[in-house]
A and B are shown apart, each in its own frame.
Chain A
């Protein structure tokens, strides 16, 4: 339904000298430390609130009943941002239980909050991007998007931008003609609008000589229009600058989709299709945990990774090192060094959204 023509295959990369996969710095080390005590915790909390009562009931009873109770408790839960720490623990425990039973494997839901002194930023080198879309694929594998023909969701889209063609025989083309060419000639072509690219390209090999590539995803704006229009504040900006969605609070009105100038948001039109095999069990409440039908989702800078000191999946996978990520408040971070040294721009600066996603060229 969505992204009807979304590309399914990743064309092979034409091996060129620019394909240097840079070794990530120390920030890329796995620092996984999921606390195992959440389950025990909820058992002690039983009886404090309606939701926890239901949660306890769900723990004590079995099978379908348990699931039903969990679902009801989930339905009644408040907005994540406003939950107390206890309520957050309960909500997370409920979800872990539900996902674990739904996907038949141990699923963890992380609730790591934003770290002090961190403002995440991203920089992308459009000169290096070869349009291979490995980032798109890695993103889907990491972030549990719906896949398959019926509903394929991708948070990153790579626009193919064709380079212009100027020829002598087009010299006399134009409008209105007769009285001298007022509009026309070579530089006038009715290529798309706004961003003159298309994101359904399916070449045998990339990069194609007549094109360059321009990946887009959520820009994590400092002034996000999507946040302002949300009637229930289910989408909001976290202290570390990531714009998140509480999928359990979203009413599906799609105001945010209308307001986003970057077409970064996706909607679960139907029940997401995610098999147990494909499911990534390491999730974050505000990030890649499985979504339900009727809610909005988008890129979260891989919140489940980056809050634990890892790189986003797209940064890790990029074969040409076009993607840089780090803490904008740290002058020694990669992204800050890029911003200090390279010529950079923000997409649609006229929208006044102040993205923390920068484009640069060498």
Chain B
């Protein structure tokens, strides 16, 4: 017990202390949190009327970010899977960082869900026994289930590993390995269920396709490692932890494969829907070409496609993958491109046209944007702190000292 208390105090003591760069970074994120506080206060008191959502487009920026971040959380498995299944040495050394990223991503998911809810004060209505958990009927309850279990798996797996490292004990493989393997499969489940959440609604033809879960997973496995590469290179630059080139090479190869498949799936969908467009293709047509002058999403679609294609082509060249300056550019393009694809490119046109054929454009309000950026900022604060602690333990900066 004393060990655990010591671990906690050492850990907290370590993560709150840092150099000027560290504080500047947190301060920078903190500015967005101030806007976030204002935005949330307004939404709490006035209701969701402060957002740009309407009865026609009732799911917007919040849910779009949620869907994307579930993908980022699932994408963390691209570190854990090669590390433990293929015994990839370089990734094995830093696998715990992937788990920390997953935790931060799930935290952001939860923040976005709370923003999306009209009555966040009533969230307890979903708790089994106290409230009603409409499981297995409601796909949303599946999503809650898989996400919270994924969070627990990563917190337990990640911090168990860190604690054992801290106390210099050997991992209990019988306890640890099952958690890792379950978490790997579970990562697939979270994004599959998010896909099902959308595509089980025949009322929304754009989403009603069996391709949704695989497209989600494939794009997640491109966006997730893109972020991880950026994070890894930042860590290499700013800390003493040297993440090996092999780790980054492995990840960039995963990205290029997944981006290629993602583009292929997009092509398949476009051809299927638009060769002979039916009523059910109206959402995709609106997204790609606009509708009678309503074309707010058109530039988003094409810029997303361009970013993904450019990233894919760049990453095909080993010279780009090896040159980390160019690699970062490709990663940013892939990450942003997929963020657009899942938000402006998928979630919003799902509601346009409405089930009775009405085209309504959606304009997120400033407060909605404050809240969304704020959620990201909080997520990055969590990520920074978690990574700092994990790196400290991996480097041996924090160690259990016997008195």
Cβ-based interface call for A254 (8 A): yes
Residues 232 to 264 of chain B near chain A (Cβ within 8 Å) = none
Q: Contact flags (1/0) for B139-155 with A, using CB distance below 8 Å?
A: 11100100000000000
Q: Check B355–A262 contact: CB distance below 8 A.
A: yes
Closest CB in chain A relative to B360 CB, distance in Å:
8
Contact (A255, B55) CB under 8 Å given A194-B353, A229-B201, A250-B118: no
- Give the residue of A225, A257, A294 whose beta carbon is less than 8 angstroms from that of B48: A294
User: Complex formed: what's the CA distance from A196 to B282 in Å?
Assistant: 13
Please name all residues of chain A whose beta carbon is closer than 8 Å to the beta carbon of B200 when the two chains form the complex. Answer: 229
Residues 338 to 360 of chain B near chain A (Cβ within 8 Å) = 350-351, 353-359
- Between B131, B350, B351, the greatest number of chain A beta carbons within 10 A of the residue's beta carbon is seen for B131
- Between B122, B133, B144, the greatest number of chain A beta carbons within 10 A of the residue's beta carbon is seen for B122
Q: Check B118–A260 contact: CB distance below 8 A.
A: no
Q: Check A259–B49 contact: CB distance below 8 A.
A: no
Please name all residues of chain A whose beta carbon is closer than 8 Å to the beta carbon of B49 when the two chains form the complex. Answer: 1, 150-151, 269-270, 293
Closest CB in chain A relative to B389 CB, distance in Å:
34
Q: Check A263–B356 contact: CB distance below 8 A.
A: yes
Q: Check B116–A253 contact: CB distance below 8 A.
A: yes
- Give the residue of A1, A229, A234 whose beta carbon is less than 8 angstroms from that of B140: A229
Q: Check A192–B138 contact: CB distance below 8 A.
A: no
Cβ-based interface call for A251 (8 A): yes
Please name all residues of chain B whose beta carbon is closer than 8 Å to the beta carbon of A232 when the two chains form the complex. Answer: 125-126, 131-134
User: Complex formed: what's the CA distance from A181 to B333 in Å?
Assistant: 43
Cβ-based interface call for B16 (8 A): no
Cβ-based interface call for B202 (8 A): yes
User: Complex formed: what's the CA distance from A296 to B200 in Å?
Assistant: 20
| Closest chain B residue, CB of each to CB of A348 | B355
Residues 49 to 98 of chain B near chain A (Cβ within 8 Å) = 49, 51, 53-56, 58-59
Considering only CB atoms and an 8 Å cut-off, how many residues of chain B contact the other chain?
48
User: Complex formed: what's the CA distance from A250 to B125 in Å?
Assistant: 8
Considering only CB atoms and an 8 Å cut-off, how many residues of chain A contact the other chain?
55
Cβ-based interface call for B47 (8 A): yes
Q: Check B55–A3 contact: CB distance below 8 A.
A: yes
Q: Contact flags (1/0) for A1-45 with B, using CB distance below 8 Å?
A: 111100000000000000000000000000000000000000000
Q: Check A231–B134 contact: CB distance below 8 A.
A: yes
Q: Check A231–B140 contact: CB distance below 8 A.
A: yes
- Give the residue of B132, B137, B144 whose beta carbon is less than 8 angstroms from that of A228: B137
- Between B126, B356, B358, the greatest number of chain A beta carbons within 10 A of the residue's beta carbon is seen for B356
Q: Check A258–B121 contact: CB distance below 8 A.
A: no
Residues 26 to 84 of chain A near chain B (Cβ within 8 Å) = 75, 79, 82
Please name all residues of chain A whose beta carbon is closer than 8 Å to the beta carbon of B282 when the two chains form the complex. Answer: 193-194
Please name all residues of chain A whose beta carbon is closer than 8 Å to the beta carbon of B358 when the two chains form the complex. Answer: 192, 198-199, 263
Cβ-based interface call for A252 (8 A): yes
Q: Contact flags (1/0) for B151-173 with A, using CB distance below 8 Å?
A: 00000000000000000000000
Please name all residues of chain A whose beta carbon is closer than 8 Å to the beta carbon of B56 when the two chains form the complex. Answer: 263
Please name all residues of chain A whose beta carbon is closer than 8 Å to the beta carbon of B292 when the two chains form the complex. Answer: 190
Closest CB in chain A relative to B178 CB, distance in Å:
29
Q: Check A252–B117 contact: CB distance below 8 A.
A: yes
Please name all residues of chain B whose beta carbon is closer than 8 Å to the beta carbon of A107 when the two chains form the complex. Answer: none
Q: Contact flags (1/0) for A245-273 with B, using CB distance below 8 Å?
A: 00001111111011111110111111100
Please name all residues of chain B whose beta carbon is closer than 8 Å to the beta carbon of A351 when the two chains form the complex. Answer: 202-203
Q: Check A225–B118 contact: CB distance below 8 A.
A: no
| Closest chain A residue, CB of each to CB of B282 | A193
Please name all residues of chain A whose beta carbon is closer than 8 Å to the beta carbon of B59 when the two chains form the complex. Answer: 254, 258
Residues 280 to 324 of chain B near chain A (Cβ within 8 Å) = 282, 292
User: Complex formed: what's the CA distance from A259 to B121 in Å?
Assistant: 23
Q: Check B140–A255 contact: CB distance below 8 A.
A: yes
User: Complex formed: what's the CA distance from A197 to B353 in Å?
Assistant: 12
Q: Check A258–B353 contact: CB distance below 8 A.
A: no
Closest CB in chain B relative to A166 CB, distance in Å:
21
User: Complex formed: what's the CA distance from A150 to B119 in Å?
Assistant: 20
Closest CB in chain A relative to B223 CB, distance in Å:
24
Please name all residues of chain B whose beta carbon is closer than 8 Å to the beta carbon of A249 when the two chains form the complex. Answer: 122, 125, 132
User: Complex formed: what's the CA distance from A142 to B262 in Å?
Assistant: 52
| Closest chain B residue, CB of each to CB of A254 | B58
Q: Check B118–A251 contact: CB distance below 8 A.
A: yes
User: Complex formed: what's the CA distance from A265 to B203 in Å?
Assistant: 13
Q: Check B117–A253 contact: CB distance below 8 A.
A: yes
Q: Check A251–B117 contact: CB distance below 8 A.
A: yes
Cβ-based interface call for A216 (8 A): yes
Contact (A251, B58) CB under 8 Å given A197-B357, A261-B203: no
- Give the residue of A3, A159, A261, A271 whose beta carbon is less than 8 angstroms from that of B47: A271
User: Complex formed: what's the CA distance from A111 to B278 in Å?
Assistant: 46
Closest CB in chain B relative to A182 CB, distance in Å:
12
- Give the residue of B58, B123, B126, B132 whose beta carbon is less than 8 angstroms from that of A258: B58
Q: Check A268–B201 contact: CB distance below 8 A.
A: no
Please name all residues of chain B whose beta carbon is closer than 8 Å to the beta carbon of A259 when the two chains form the complex. Answer: 201, 203
Please name all residues of chain A whose beta carbon is closer than 8 Å to the beta carbon of B48 when the two chains form the complex. Answer: 252, 267, 269-270, 293-294
A selection of 9 A-B contacts at a CB cut-off of 8 Å is A194-B279, A196-B357, A228-B137, A230-B134, A232-B134, A251-B125, A253-B118, A254-B118, A270-B49
Additional A-B contacts beyond A79-B132, A252-B118 (8; CB < 8 A): A195-B357, A232-B126, A251-B126, A253-B117, A260-B355, A268-B47, A269-B54, A293-B118
A residues engaging B (CB < 8 A)? Answer: 1-4, 75, 79, 82, 150-151, 157, 159, 190, 192-199, 216, 225, 228-234, 249-255, 257-263, 265-271, 293-296, 351
Chain A to chain B: the 6 pairs with minimum beta-carbon distance, closest first: A252-B118, A270-B49, A294-B118, A293-B47, A261-B203, A194-B357
